[in-house]
Amino acid sequence: MKYVDEFRDGATARTLAAAIAREAEEGRRYHLMEFCGGHTHAISRYGLTDLLPAGIEMVHGPGCPVCVLPIGRIDGAIGLARDREAILCTYADTMRVPASGGTSLMKAKAAGADVRMVYSCADALRIARENPGREVVFFAIGFETTTPPTALAIREAQREGLANFSVFCNHVLTPAAIAHILESPEVRELGIVRLDGFVGPAHVSTVIGSQPYEYFAEEYRKPVVIAGFEPLDVMQAILMLVRQVNEGRAEVENEFTRAVTREGNAKAKALVAEVFELRRSFEWRGLGEVPYSALTIRAEYAGFDAERRFGVRYVPVPDHKACECGAILRGVKKPADCRVFGTACTPENPLGSCMVSSEGACAAHYTYGRFRDAFAREAARA
């Protein structure tokens, strides 16, 4: 595939790895957080950790929308399908996330609820047109990439007068999550999580641009390098971060110039601002309540807001006791630190959300990295 294969070339990856090893200073440690699950997945899938010198530690961030969605929100979606008998349209990613009482959207569907997986919110609109006698709810999740399509769908529904269509909005915001991490006690007071820089979002940045990260570089003195999701993009971003750290710079640099500008997609941003407004607070799994970190549907489009239409009440639910997703999402723990990782919790039978999405830190490590730990342990014993 053009613009994909060239960015996965193994020989070039080794060239970049050699440059990183050359430029990383002896004895210095570089703690770099990749915010996005897409980067976490690329790092695990292509074994980038094995290419990096020992001084570079990649810290997984909370940028996996499925992982940060708290149980109470999945419960809300199940309630719409099961108790309100709506057709609930959802991206496939949420289907297996464990909800309250050992259930999930998948299990609710098996028990008779009308839950339908869709590729796009445009498919949810089509289902609403085809079923005028039924309520059709789109379970909208995701960061700034999925938000503009949801905004378009809501506007389209209004234009068509599609009265049986509504959206259960759970869209969240990347900059709010980054700010929350930088302000967290683990980073600021306790020093448990050291962060020397960020690999910044790829596709989120195509929409919001590189400008929103300038605040983190200026106020928190943290370098940010926006990077594409291909392995060479990640390696190049790490090299650029190492250079910034070495030179004491804290700037926003853009490795993903083929798709990201400083301003982002103005048309998409205007559309989002027209349909959505900031939610005063939103609970994230792992981060807790984060002020102004999510979106809700504006009053002008209230008729399409499933929360208002069905009076959805949010009830917080604690995670499974043994699950370390919360600490993993904050960068405090690694997947292998969790007692149930790979034993009671596997991608086939996940206890926590980080094991569900392929971009979740646990699923990525389980699929591509768990034997590396086993070999390392054996080597240590020998």
Partner 1 sequence: MCLALPARVVELTGPDTARIDLSGVRKEISIALVDGVAVGDYVIVHVGYALTRLDPAEAERTLALFASAGLAPQAGV
Q: How many residues does the chain have?
A: 382
Output the CA torsion sign for 53, 59, 60, 63: negative
Q: Mention every residue, 6+ apart, whose C-beta is less than 8 A from residue 134.
A: 85, 86, 87, 114, 164
Q: Provide the sign of the torsion angle of the four alpha carbons 153, 155, 160, 162, taken in this order.
A: positive
Whether the CB-CB separation of 81 and 113 falls below 8 Å is answered with: yes
Q: Quick one: tokens of 62?
A: 């909370």
Coil, helix or strand at residue 212: helix
Q: Pick between residue 120 and residue 308 the one whose CB is nearest to partner 1.
A: 120
Taking alpha carbons only, the member of 348, 380, 340, 382 closest to residue 367 is 348
Residue 217 found at the interface with partner 1 (CB under 8 A): no
Which position among 229, 284, 304, 310 is part of the footprint of partner 1 (CB under 8 A)?
Answer: 229
Q: Does 38 bind partner 1 (CB under 8 A)?
A: yes
| C-beta separation of 147 from 270 below 8 A | no
Q: Smallest distance, Å, CB 98 to partner 1?
A: 17
At 364, list the tokens. 């990525």
Contact call for residue 286 and partner 1 (CB under 8 A): no
Site for partner 1 in 45-74 (CB under 8 A): 63-66
3-state SS, 299-319, equals HHHHHHEHHHHHCCCCCCCCC
Contact between 15 and partner 1 per CB under 8 A: yes
The answer to whether 210 contacts partner 1 (rule: CB under 8 A) is no
Would you count residue 18 as binding partner 1 (CB under 8 A)? yes
CB of 44 vs partner 1, minimal distance in Å: 14
What is the bridge-based pairing of β-strands 276-284 and 288-297?
A: antiparallel
CB of 133 to partner 1, least distance (A): 26
Answer yes or no whether residue 200 interacts with partner 1 by CB under 8 A: no
Residue reference for tokens 């940060």: 68
In the list 106, 117, 195, 259, the residue contacting partner 1 (rule: CB under 8 A) is 259
Q: Does 258 bind partner 1 (CB under 8 A)?
A: yes
221 binds partner 1 (CB under 8 A): no
Residue among 66 and 340 whose Cβ is closer to partner 1: 66
Binding site for partner 1 (CB under 8 A): 1-4, 6-7, 12, 15-16, 18-19, 21-22, 36-38, 63-66, 91, 93, 119-123, 141-143, 145-146, 148-149, 152, 201-204, 206-207, 229, 232-233, 235-236, 239, 255-260, 265, 267-268, 271, 357, 359
